[in-house]
Amino acid sequence: MTELPDGWTVESLSDVASWGSGGTPQAGHPAFYGGDIPWAVIGDLNEATVVETRASITDAGLAASSAKLVPEGAVLLAMYGSIGKLGIAGRPMATNQAIAFALPNDRVLGKYLFYYLMSQRHQLDAEGKGATQRNISQTILRPWPIPLPEGLDEQRRIVDILEDHLSRLDAAESGIGFSLARLVSLKERILSAGLLGETMPGPREPSELTDCGTDDGQLSDLPMGWTWRRLGEITSVAGGVTKDSKRQSDPAFVEVPYLRVANVQRGRLDLGKVTTIRVPASKAKALRLLYGDVLMNEGGDRDKLARGWVWEGQVEDCIHQNHVFRARIVDGAIEPKLLSWSANTIGGRWAERNGKQSVNLASISLTKIRQMPVPVPPMGVQHELVKQLEDQLQACDRLTGSLIEARARAATLRRSLLAAAFSGRLTGGATDMEMVEEMAGV
């Protein structure tokens, strides 16, 4: 631990608070749930004051379990999964067994303890054990050292200074998050405007597309010479291979790489982990991806239907699973990137309307996806349109990268600010952040 100012001591967490953990009433017992006692789980911890919880229990549930009622002001800390995630009880409540609670004594302010534990989250997480769900126990927490200044007034001064600095960082990070969300919307707007020719001069003509029983919505008018076409008119769309676990050892099968839904993201391919599958040689040949094929997802969350990107031959002899469609463009009817951008925006919204929803999964059939409307510019326009859109999207991506770097810098400053607070180096003066920036190396 860093050298501390005069008058500070190093104590243990058990010296400054009494510790315990909660419990869970028997599941499925209606008399135990839905009562007046808030019951916090890790998902309720919000790094701030916890007032509302997603579940509640009854007095009977409290009495029949190891759950305990903790008072307002108790510090709550996750011991499982998101180790070190924090909250402060904003009212009397109970918790489940994955949350440790600390009841500060007269030697420490609750907020001082809360912020100190926040400064220790990385170190606490490093102590986690377990293969399926990492966790720590109270045997780790109780002897954990905590630096204490002399007197509660000094603790209160440190908390006040810290909260002032943190509020500025919170505002900066909120602004960064807002800007990142706006950039996502801006990129979609850029694509929609370009794909529908909204920046093109000259007259526009009403859309004409033969009704095929799908919900096409109100198709936008397009510039003269542009047309709406069904996906199946300009591409050959195919589904992929279904894994047959029973026949994976068949000696007549060949082993090839194949793409899963996880590999096919909106506007990019994630090829960090490409698995293999054994299939008949004829199937491997029929499904082999070719440069310029457009990949679209068949299932997943409803807003991810038809998402995907263009295959550029990154993995030799690669095929695709049955939950990924392959659209192979016929006779150069449309630039692959234009088609994929369309599927990720206009077509994606169409797929949401025309897909099916089960309990946990949305999907769209091969027959249906072939009916997706696609705006097709004249061939002489397409290449220049792709270049214009790429330039605009790259500008957005550069700005996004700068914002992500700024967010990472703010997170580094936050960690250094907390470290400075609990080593007695915050003064409340104008030079505090200069010192914190030096500590952070930014």
Residue 202 lies in a domain: no
288 near 318, Cβ under 8 Å?
A: yes
Do 325 and 440 sit in the same domain of this protein? no
Residue 216 lies in a domain: no
Type of residue at 191: L
Buried b / exposed e over 239-270, threshold 16 CB at 10 Å, is bbbebeeeeeeeeebbebbbbbbebbbbbebe
Rounded to the nearest integer, the mean pLDDT of the chain is 93
Do 237 and 370 sit in the same domain of this protein? yes
432 near 161, Cβ under 8 Å?
A: yes
* Neighbouring C-beta atoms of residue 81, cutoff 10 Å: 14
As beta bridge partners, residue 432 has none
Provide the residue range defining the domain that includes 302.
228-376
Do 113 and 252 sit in the same domain of this protein? no
Percent of the chain residues past pLDDT 70, beyond the cut: 99
Do 4 and 142 sit in the same domain of this protein? yes
Domain stops at, among 376, 405, 433: 376
Do 6 and 121 sit in the same domain of this protein? yes
Do 133 and 157 sit in the same domain of this protein? no
Residue 78 lies in a domain: yes
* d(C-alpha 408, C-alpha 405), whole Å: 5
Do 78 and 114 sit in the same domain of this protein? yes
Residue 222 lies in a domain: no
Q: Strands 299-300 and 235-238: what pairing? A: unpaired
Number of domains in the chain: 3
Do 249 and 322 sit in the same domain of this protein? yes
Please give the pLDDT value at position 1.
64
Q: Which residues contact 234 (CB under 8 A, 6 or more apart)?
A: 329, 330, 333, 334, 339, 374, 376
Residue 61 lies in a domain: yes
Q: What's the Cα-to-Cα distance from 188 to each of 194, 387, 421, rounded to whole Å?
A: 10, 16, 43
Do 124 and 156 sit in the same domain of this protein? no
> Is the alpha carbon torsion for 238, 240, 244, 247 positive or negative?
positive
Do 405 and 362 sit in the same domain of this protein? no
* d(C-alpha 231, C-alpha 343), whole Å: 10
185 CB burial (10 A radius; 0-12, 13-18, 19+): exposed
Over residues 195-253, the pLDDT tens digits come to 999 988 889 988 888 889 999 999 999 999 999 999 999 999 999 998 776 667 777 88
Residue 357 lies in a domain: yes
As beta bridge partners, residue 264 has 269
Over residues 381-412, the pLDDT tens digits come to 999 999 999 999 999 999 999 999 999 999 99
Residue 98 sits in a domain of what CATH number?
3.90.220.20
At 351, is the pLDDT very low, low, confident or very high (cuts 50, 70, 90)?
A: very high
Residue 182 lies in a domain: yes
Domain stops at, among 112, 133, 150: 150
The pLDDT of 369-381, averaged and rounded, is 96
Residue 215 lies in a domain: no
* d(C-alpha 69, C-alpha 273), whole Å: 46
* d(C-alpha 204, C-alpha 429), whole Å: 62
Q: Which residues contact 254 (CB under 8 A, 6 or more apart)?
A: 278, 279, 280, 281, 284
Do 258 and 329 sit in the same domain of this protein? yes
At 334, is the pLDDT very low, low, confident or very high (cuts 50, 70, 90)?
A: very high
Do 125 and 1 sit in the same domain of this protein? yes
Q: Which residues contact 216 (CB under 8 A, 6 or more apart)?
A: 209, 350, 373
**Which pTM was predicted?**
0.81
